[in-house]
Amino acid sequence: MKVVRALADLRRLRADLPNPHGLVPTMGALHEGHLSLVRRAKRECDSVGVSIFVNPAQFGPAEDLASYPRNIELDLSMLEAQGVDVVWTPEESEVYPPGFQTWVTVEELSRPLEGARRPGHFRGVATVVAKLFNAFQPQRAFFGQKDAQQVMVIRRMAADLDFPVEIAVCPTVRESDGLAMSSRNAYLKPAERQAATVLFRALTAAKRAFDGGERDAERLREILRGVIAAEPLAKIGYVSVADPSSLAEAAGRVNVGLMSLAVQIGNTMLIDNLSLDER
Ligand code: PAF
């Protein structure tokens, strides 16, 4: 496995790697969720690249950029064990050189949910992912369903800007009690870690109601809110039952939908989602 910092070195190495090339973009602090993406990339592609870059452009001024977990040595040993071909760990100045002023904005899909909670977040994500696609020239790129809106934004961006890359989405990887794996789970104190299961409990309660015949969007949102309200350490960021292609909030009857949650536990905002589909 080659680890490079300079874009020129990445390009040189990439030129000798066979296609299809699979890219797994990450911000490091790797966990089983990331490794599930890498394993799938290994199965489906003839070479695999991983980026590790804590992208400042997707963090708001009051967010956790400085404290975001970083463990590059451990990350690299995990990737080496998976047989990754190349890892790019660029400096910030390599990705955003002095004078940088070109941004990618996916207009509508970036507005609700995480976009409303984190202004500018998806502009940062879409821009860095576009740059990663240019750098790695992957035929396939792998993302987790846990960040469902991110996947939608990236898919739209890739289609709109004619990137010849297939966006592959892998299921959310969960702890045994249902908590979705996330690098930010490391922030949780023991009591908060316990309370954090409320996201999955809320989603599964609403899904159970849907599977039992409940189709009213507002009633499903009430079920989500009710479970979260019963957890003393949890504070609702947002609760959404939305159209899975536009992310517009559903009104009245839902036959297919995406339920999304942002819930603050202590100082940590966690997100999760589950699809609804009556078929
Ligand atoms: O999901 C993430 O870790 C990041 O948003 C991504 C896609 C690597 C872009 O920085």
pLDDT band at 97 (very low <50, low <70, confident <90, very high): very high
Percent of the chain with pLDDT over 70: 100
Overall average pLDDT of the 179-204 stretch: 98
- Going from the Cα of 31 to the center of ligand 1, the distance in angstroms, rounded, reads 14
pLDDT(279) > 90: no
Q: What is the pTM of this model?
A: 0.98
Percent of the chain with pLDDT over 90: 99
pLDDT band at 147 (very low <50, low <70, confident <90, very high): very high
- Rounded Cα gap, residues 277 and 108, in angstroms: 23
Overall average pLDDT of the 115-138 stretch: 99
Overall average pLDDT of the 149-157 stretch: 98
* pLDDT computed for residue 142 by the predictor: 99
- Going from the Cα of 13 to the center of ligand 1, the distance in angstroms, rounded, reads 23
Task: Express each pLDDT in 219-267 by its tens digit.
Answer: 999 999 999 999 999 999 999 999 999 999 999 999 999 999 999 999 9
Residue ranges around ligand 1 (CB below 6 Å):
25-27, 55, 58, 125, 128-129, 147, 150
Burial class (CB in 10 A: 0-12, 13-18, 19+), 157: buried
- Going from the Cα of 104 to the center of ligand 1, the distance in angstroms, rounded, reads 15
Overall average pLDDT of the 81-99 stretch: 98
Task: Express each pLDDT in 163-189 by its tens digit.
Answer: 999 999 999 999 999 999 999 999 999
CA angle in degrees (0–180, nearest 5) for 177-36-210: 50
- Rounded Cα gap, residues 197 and 180, in angstroms: 9
Atom 2 of ligand 1, residue of closest alpha carbon: 26
Atom 3 of ligand 1, residue of closest alpha carbon: 26
Rounded to the nearest integer, the mean pLDDT of the chain is 98
* pLDDT computed for residue 67 by the predictor: 96
